[in-house]
Amino acid sequence: EFVDMKKGCVQLTEDQIKKEITASLKYLSYGAYFSQDNVNRPGYAKFYFDAASEEREHAHKLIEYLQMRGRYFDIQDTIISNINIGQLIKESEQAKALGLDHSWMKAPEPRANGLSAGMESLRTALKMEYAVTESIRNLIIACEAEKVDGKNDEVFNDYHFVDYLTGEFLTEQYKGKRDIAGKISTLGKM
């Protein structure tokens, strides 16, 4: 194994992968909720299924990046295998990792006009996007100035990875937050 990234940066990246997968699962559950025949909100369903794919793609990109830098995963690797989907639905540990409370896992309550469930889901999605964006920003900060092993006064700046995160992820996160905020604003005017 030739990992040429600092251990702390690798660990934080693995944590970010878990957060991306968690967000993907939440969006997938929202997509499933809004695509039910008794809810029938195909626009919301498409939005959330697309968002789930995007978050899963983020996790995939981070895994590929770690592999490019020498991190190898075996079939029993804990990066993915310790995400218990059933547990995720029942408990709020992953929600806490995203900076959210337990309520984000509950399906929105359908209302007579159908707007409340959509608005509630969008507000939760915006909170998730803020939390994921903040997590990426913290990852960038940590990988910019990680202490060199055993040397208190020397830091290692992983310029390549920081540039990758800034270019590939942050722009998309900011656009995604803006899109959701716009949808909330539009829906609020109805």
pLDDT digits (tens, 9 = 90+) for 137-157: 999 988 887 665 555 555 677
> Would the pLDDT of 124 be above 80?
yes
pLDDT in tens, 27-45: 998 898 899 888 888 999 9
Q: Cβ distance 119 to 188 under 8 Å?
A: yes
Q: Any binding-site annotation on 173?
A: yes
pLDDT, mean over the chain: 79
Asked whether residue 20 is marked as a ligand-binding residue, the answer is yes
Domains of the chain, first to last: 7-188 (1.20.1260.10)
CB 104 within 8 A of CB 127: yes
Q: Is 120 annotated as a binding residue?
A: no
Q: What is the 3-state secondary structure (H, E, C) of 59-94?
A: HHHHHHHHHHCCCCCCCCCHHHHCCCHHHHHHCCHH
The reply, when asked if residue 144 is annotated as ligand binding, is no
Q: Which pLDDT belongs to residue 89?
A: 46
Q: Is 93 annotated as a binding residue?
A: no
